[in-house]
């Protein structure tokens, strides 16, 4: 991906990065993982969540994500970043749409196969990631509706934040290195999912690297948004059923 020209920011800089954008990077790398870990630790220490509590978690996450993405977009505009530099646009429409659909299908199949394998593992052996899924995934249609809105929000906001903002920031700081941008944005994306435990961090880092590589190739966030949506919607709407305890899944209701 060729480097795109951009105007120099008028904001004070630290390590060659405008202070406001560096502050956002620190929020994504430190505050977001800490916040998620604290919330999930508290949830896991409790008993079964009520439907209203689960919906409230979805709602607060939706508000937080849009607020963080909105502030980030605002500061990028103030610092004169162009839309193409953030992966917003469609420089190769036909390729971008095709790659996005293909990526969503492939990741969707992988996710379904993973849940099929998970359904054979007893709940007590699924670790922290399984415990988080059991606690937070929607259990009823009433919960599925706000969860769908949550998935749309996360797909758009996280791709903008990590594959748009962080990717571009690392690329600029590293002197235009796309490899550094892919690795850096993927690592921070993985750390942002620290609440899922070590396996969750590794899985999301790898997934983030795939998204970042596709973003670098196409110059657009669209394929990553579609792929992200496919992974999360299947995890939520299909995971709660397939992740049932195998010792009870075959018993009649």
pLDDT score at 244: 47
> What's this model's pTM, rounded to 2 decimal places?
0.86
| 1 pLDDT above the threshold of 60 | no
| 97 pLDDT above the threshold of 70 | yes
23-37, 80-94, 129-143, 208-222, range with the lowest pLDDT: 129-143
pLDDT score at 121: 66
Range of the domain at 99: 13-246
Task: Give the pLDDT confidence of 154-175 residue by residue, as tens digits.
Answer: 999 999 999 999 999 999 999 8
Establish if 251 belongs to a structural domain: no
Establish if 168 belongs to a structural domain: yes
**Domains: count for the chain:** 1
pLDDT score at 118: 67
| 10 pLDDT above the threshold of 90 | no
Establish if 6 belongs to a structural domain: no
Establish if 174 belongs to a structural domain: yes
Count Cβ atoms below 10 Å from residue 231 Cβ, excluding itself: 23
194: tokens are: 């620290």
14 three-state secondary structure: strand
Q: What are phi and psi of 14, to 5 degrees?
A: -135, 125
Establish if 7 belongs to a structural domain: no
- Is the model more confident about 35 or about 4? 35
In degrees to the nearest 10, what's the CA dihedral of 109, 115, 116, 121?
160
Average pLDDT across the chain, whole number? 86
| 235 pLDDT above the threshold of 70 | yes
């Amino acid at each position: 991906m060729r480097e795109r020209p951009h105007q120099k920011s008028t904001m004070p800089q630290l390590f060659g990065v405008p202070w406001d954008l560096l502050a956002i990077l620190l929020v994504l790398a430190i505050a977001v993982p800490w916040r998620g870990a604290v919330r999930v630790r508290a949830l896991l220490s409790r008993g079964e969540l009520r439907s209203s509590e689960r919906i409230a978690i979805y709602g607060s996450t939706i508000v937080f994500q849009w607020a963080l993405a909105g502030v980030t977009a605002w500061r990028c505009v103030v610092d004169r970043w162009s839309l193409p530099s953030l992966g917003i646009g469609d420089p190769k429409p036909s390729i971008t749409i095709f790659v996005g659909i293909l990526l969503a299908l492939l990741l969707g199949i992988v996710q379904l196969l993973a849940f099929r394998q998970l359904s054979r593992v007893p709940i007590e052996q699924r670790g922290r990631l399984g415990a988080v899924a059991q606690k937070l995934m929607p259990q009823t249609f009433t919960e599925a509706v706000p969860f769908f809105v949550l998935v749309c929000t996360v797909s758009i906001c996280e791709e903008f934040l990590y594959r748009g903002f962080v990717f571009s920031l690392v690329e600029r700081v590293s002197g235009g290195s796309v490899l550094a941008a892919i690795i850096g944005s993927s690592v921070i994306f993985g750390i942002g999912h620290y609440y899922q435990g070590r396996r969750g961090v590794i899985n999301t880092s790898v997934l983030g690297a795939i998204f970042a590589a596709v973003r670098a190739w196409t110059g657009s966030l669209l394929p990553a948004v579609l792929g992200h949506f496919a992974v999360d919607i299947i995890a939520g709407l299909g995971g709660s059923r397939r992740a049932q305890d195998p010792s009870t899944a075959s018993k009649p209701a």
